[in-house]
Structure 1
Amino acid sequence: MFRTKQGRRRGPALALLAAASLVLALGGCSVDTVTPGQARGEAGSDGGGAATDGRAASPGRAAAPVDCAKAKCIALTFDAGPGKDTPHLLDVLKEKQVPATFFLLGSKHVERYPQVVKRIADEGHEVANHTWSHRILTDLDADEVRDELSRTQEAIAKITGRKPTLMRPPQGRTDGTVSDVSRELGLSQVLWSITAKDYSTEDTALIRRRVLEQAHGDGIILLHDIYDGTVPAVPGIIDELKRRGYTFVTVPQLLAPGKAEPGVVYRPEKEDD
């Protein structure tokens, strides 16, 4: 079984976190995963973690404190953009004061829409890496994985001035090689627990219903801002989840006061609300 390792010395709290982590079988290899609650618990047991990482930065406004150990938090994430509908999505998020995490593709997306990438960052959303060309990383050797991730790192940094610290492997497929390269590049891996499978339908009502049926505290929602039915579903998803008492946060805010560790795989465990 593959277990996440750090090149530097890990403290006792991190060892406890790893011991408590879930095991996820992906890419033909068992990879330990860590839940948001475990990340927060590890930070608490280590006596560290300031509230700054848990400040929910609503787009266009100053950050407000949020404690996801107490609040019913949920993270809205978008893969494989930006695309033609991303500016409208950003308008929706700004209007509803909801932060999100965008896992961006390099080829034909970041390179095609640099001003949209800049806007995502400027409006307080988390900018993350979804590889350069969406190749399945578990099918590649270490050099190819490195190329897929590092090219997108550099392209985003050129636009925003900052390299991402989070990445999402295409199809959620990861293994020891992917984790080792991610650690080398300073990237944590983020999976999900709620998906509308919006790549398979343009039915906005169905996308909305699938998300709402699966929603849970500490959840991470996976959507794609490149499909026609997805962005129109977002306002209804936000409104209903707010009505149910959810607080929207970015992935780093969901983990706070813990911080995402490079190479580690983060994945929520669904719980009944």
Structure 2
Amino acid sequence: MGKILLFRKKRLTALACALAAALIFYVVNYPYAATAAATNRQLPIYCVQRDQKMVAISFDAAWGNEDTQELIDIMDRYDITATFFVVGSWVDKYPESVKALSDAGHEVMNHSNSHAHMSQLSTQEIVADLNACNDKIEAVTGVRPTLVRPPYGEYDDHVINAVRSMGMEPIQWDVDSLDWKDLSASEITQRVVNKVQPGSIVLFHNAALHTPEALPGIIETLLQEGYTFVPISQIILPGECGTDYTIDHTGRQCPC
């Protein structure tokens, strides 16, 4: 009996080795097919391949409004503009702040109408939700949003497909300030300036405790390093996915 078990174990080991060797052969000899299989998942844009030192800073606005005007004033001081992703219910509560953001030259984009978990919604529900938020933003700013940041940073293939079916682009981030965790201003600053690279998209929140304190130092440091600040619509590459650009497995948008 022991000899039979040993024989079977050897056969299984040999089979496993053969399968591993076959997999290695396939990946080495057919790398494009292997890459395609790994990247079939639909991804939003997390960052952009850029040779120039460009960075886009963004703010999510879903609840409070304590610091919006201060953030506008800080960025006005440095003559830079950012992208604000706002929830429709936030537009309902603070239309004057939405208008102030737009009047100051900042992009006001879509963060959903009700901050729902979009992966739990049908395609029709997602489209209706985003259109409701778009309508509210356009009514205040006169500009219809073209970018979406899904609430909670959550998405799946059907969420991304629903967004793109509307002619909109889903946007994530590659640098998270973690300001919502109430980190100190110095911790936020170090996190951001140490992680930014050309083409980065940075995530902040408009009502985080220490963001207004951290923002001037972040801006000054990156300006000294030669970075130019642009809104997200100016850092992403134009055109059609698959024709003019691709999005790799990390969410980096790359020119074709």
TM-score by length of 2: 0.74
**Secondary structure of the equivalent of 1:220?**
strand
Contact 2:44 2:160 in 1 (8 A): no
Residue of structure 2 equivalent to 1:175:
156
Report the number of matched residues: 213
Letter aligned with residue 36 of structure 1: V
Out of 14, 34, 48, the position equivalent to 1:36 is 48
What is the Cα deviation at residue 204 of structure 1? 1.8
User: Matches of 1:246 and 1:22 in 2, distance apart?
Assistant: 36
**Structure 1 unaligned residues grouped into runs of 5+:** 1-19, 38-68
Out of 224, 231, 242, the position equivalent to 1:243 is 224
1:260 and 1:111, CA in 2 relative to 1: closer, same or farther beyond 3 A?
farther
Contact 1:21 1:32 in 2 (8 A): no
Letter aligned with residue 75 of structure 2: L
Letter aligned with residue 93 of structure 1: M
Cα deviation, 1:35-79, whole Å, max 9, x if unaligned, reads 523xxxxxxxxxxxxxxxxxxxxxxxxxxxxxxx54200101111
Residue of structure 2 equivalent to 1:85:
67
Alignment partner of 1:166 is 2:147 = yes
What is the Cα deviation at residue 23 of structure 1? 6.2
Fraction of identical pairs, as percent: 32
User: Matches of 2:141 and 2:79 in 1, distance apart?
Assistant: 21
Contact 2:43 2:251 in 1 (8 A): no
| Bigger radius of gyration among the two | 2
- 1:14-53 → structure 2 map (5 Å cutoff): 30-33=41-44, 36-37=48-49
Structure with the bigger percentage of helix:
2
1:21 and 1:94, CA in 2 relative to 1: closer, same or farther beyond 3 A?
farther
Contact 1:72 1:246 in 2 (8 A): yes
User: Matches of 1:127 and 1:119 in 2, distance apart?
Assistant: 10
Residue of structure 2 equivalent to 1:100:
82
TM-score by length of 1: 0.70
Quote the RMSD (CA, aligned, Å).
Answer: 2.8
- 1:1-273 → structure 2 map (5 Å cutoff): 30-33=41-44, 36-37=48-49, 69-81=50-62, 83-107=65-89, 109-256=90-237, 258-259=238-239, 269=252
**Structure 2 unaligned residues grouped into runs of 5+:** 1-34
1:89 and 1:128, CA in 2 relative to 1: closer, same or farther beyond 3 A?
same
